[in-house]
Amino acid sequence: MHLFSSGSGYPVLFIHGMPTSGRLWDGVISKLRGRFHCLAVDLPGLGESPKIPYGPKQLAILAEQIERIRIERGIEKWHVVGHDAGSAVAVHYAYSFQDHVDHLVLLSPAMFPDLKPFHLFRFMRAPIVGEMLAPLVSAIFWNVVMRIALESRQPESANAVKEFRAPFSGLRGAWRFMSVMRYGNPAELLEEVPGMLPHLSVPTLIFHGAQDTAVPQSFAERASALIPRSKVLVVDSGHFIPLTRPEIVASELYRFFNSSAAA
């Protein structure tokens, strides 16, 4: 997986969701890199990472790849932060390699098996129909849906969307996007996640956007009810909290990492 690294200090790993990239965290990292060593990955098929074949144990495979990054970097322990589907990856990693996780942060946690894919993506996931509608759905998603979702509050948002869309440019870009959106069935891919949550012993902070229409707030509440040392923070934002509210995310992360350590 492609890895972006910036800053110095205690290490923090950032994991994005679908269909973004490590650039999702740019605004947050810019505010934390003076005190933390920030590392952001691009998940397979997104950002600058090549796509890999889908498998039933995909989240476990990604967790193992992240652990290899930790070992290669000589990191003993780090904070782990995940957004959207990246939260499910973060949970798998924290469950499997808990001794190397200091604090866990989950934003807009799309990690329960009853997750419903965004309605536009349901067209792409349907055989034949998806192939036929891929160019139209892709254009609507990137040009309309993402503009609305990002609320146009940050000047960096337009550049971020260009970065997210880059792997899906060109004549066959819409069909590459379709392929990524067919990446696993939530009921199968996320089946094991709820059972992992009660076994997480690390301090955990869960963010949820008050206007999030992609992931229900009940997911954040259910996760907090299952994770022993956790709390939920609801912020005035839609789904893409790191992009629309980077200053709040950075401030709360800094407070969480330091207050929990002191306690």
CATH number of the domain at 3-116+186-262, please? 3.40.50.1820
User: What one-letter code names the amino acid at 246?
Assistant: P
Give residue 151's pLDDT: 63
Give residue 171's pLDDT: 81
Q: Classify residue 162 by its DSSP letter.
A: H
The per-residue pLDDT string of the chain (263 residues; one tens digit each, 9 = 90 and over) reads: 999 999 999 999 999 998 999 999 999 999 999 999 999 999 998 999 988 877 778 899 999 999 999 999 999 999 999 999 999 999 999 999 999 999 999 999 999 999 987 777 777 778 888 889 888 888 888 888 887 777 655 556 677 888 899 989 888 889 888 888 777 778 888 999 999 999 999 999 999 999 998 899 999 999 999 999 999 999 999 999 999 999 999 999 999 999 754 34
Structure tokens at 74: 């000589």
Structure tokens at 157: 């948002």
The closest alpha carbon to 219, from 245, 190, 246, 243, belongs to 190
Give residue 262's pLDDT: 37
Q: How crowded is residue 41: how many other Cβ atoms within 10 Å of its Cβ?
A: 25
Question: Cα-atom radius of gyration of the chain, to the nearest Å?
Answer: 17
Using a 10 angstrom Cβ sphere, with 0-12 exposed, 13-18 middle and 19 or more buried, the burial of residue 10 is middle
Give residue 152's pLDDT: 54
Give per-residue pLDDT as tens, 98-149. Answer: 999 999 999 999 999 999 877 777 777 788 888 898 888 888 888 888 877 7
pTM for this prediction? 0.92
Give residue 153's pLDDT: 53
The closest alpha carbon to 178, from 167, 186, 187, belongs to 167
